[in-house]
Copies of this chain bind each other. A is one copy, B any other.
Amino acid sequence: MAKVVCLGEIMLRLSAEAGTRLNQTQQLEVFYGGGEANVAVSLANYGHAVQFVSKVSDNGFGQAAERHLRSYGVATDHLLKAVGRLGAYYVEQGTGQRATSVIYDRQASVFALMDELEWPLAELFAGADIFHISGITPALSEQWQNLTLELIKAAKKAGCKVSFDCNYRQNLWSQKAAGAFLNKILPLVDYCSAGKMDAIYLLGVPEVEADATYYYQKLQELFPTIQAFYSTNRIVHSTCINELQGTLWINGKCYTSKNHVIDPIIDRIGGGDAFTGGILHGLLKEKTPNEIIEFATAAAVLKHSVKGDCNQFSEKEVLKFIKSDNAKIER
């Protein structure tokens, strides 16, 4: 059991039922999630001691976000509460060829408005094995770019590995701003979720006809201290039917998982976070690269079969899913 620190924003998610549009619905289903929070839940499910560090509203929704995290065994010792709003997002579930659409309503949240690090950093990272953060956090404000860098430096100083998920969101910042920031922090990062698109559009790797291996080589050349790159390749047949395959670059070699057909998809939000959670778990447990990439991809696939942002499966369940050869009833 490792000790992990995840820091980021956790939001209220409100979803309309499939087949009903947001402008028609009389009911919204309530979930809580966010990139780093979802990774935290995955790692807690796998038995690690995880702290989720954030700031939430001091009202029913902030309390519910905390209850959500605690229910999975994620520790919330450093979850601050303050007067203000919790960021929110709304999901209109697509179907067939109609895409799912997401409305963000996260501006002016208590987390986004932070302008200094209110947590005791030394205490936070003492004894921690991994600090995980994503590219959404620095995208929230210029100040959060500074704070993110400060956090990563503190983590490194404490001897903690840094895991970073690029997670580029075009409606939050420009490619140029994101690229500049990435160039600042990636030299400090140990494990990095990034793919071909990130390489080309954010980090300036020239586009060529080549597979993931090529781009990982180029990224490795740019950031030689990063120890692992990973990403998924998703083929979208329709909103309900996708194929998913995971790739892991480690020690100069590229490992690819089995390709999974997911039909139907219940809820794909958080699939990438489940994948990251699986990778970090594999690295922490020092599994083989093949084991790591199969585990992480299977975890991501399982996530698609449940409602809500976060992976709800234990290590035992993920391994059982990998071994099972079909979908027979268990009884």
Contacts and interface: CB of A to CB of B under 8 A. Distances in A.
A108 interface: yes
A308 B263 CA distance: 23
A251 interface: no
Given A26-B30, A59-B103, A98 B302 contact: yes
B61 A23 contact: yes
Copies of this polypeptide in the complex: 6
Contact of A85 (B100, B107, B263, B326): B107
A90 B264 contact: no
Given A19-B307, A169-B331, A307-B20, A30 B29 contact: no
A99 B64 contact: no
Contacts of A321: 97-98
A331 B67 contact: no
Contact of A70 (B61, B71, B241, B307): B71
A242 B305 CA distance: 18
Contacts of A301: 96-97
**For the complex, would chain A's binding face be called helix, strand, loop or mixed by DSSP majority?**
loop
B30 A27 contact: yes
Interface stretch (A127-135, A155-163, A265-273): A265-273
A85 B105 contact: yes
A293 to B, nearest CB: 17
A146 interface: no
Contacts of A89: 331
A288 interface: no
B240 A263 contact: yes
A18 interface: yes
A23 B97 contact: no
A305 B98 CA distance: 7
A236 interface: yes
14 contacts: A27-B30, A61-B103, A67-B71, A85-B105, A85-B107, A95-B264, A97-B261, A97-B324, A97-B327, A98-B327, A99-B324, A171-B331, A238-B326, A238-B327
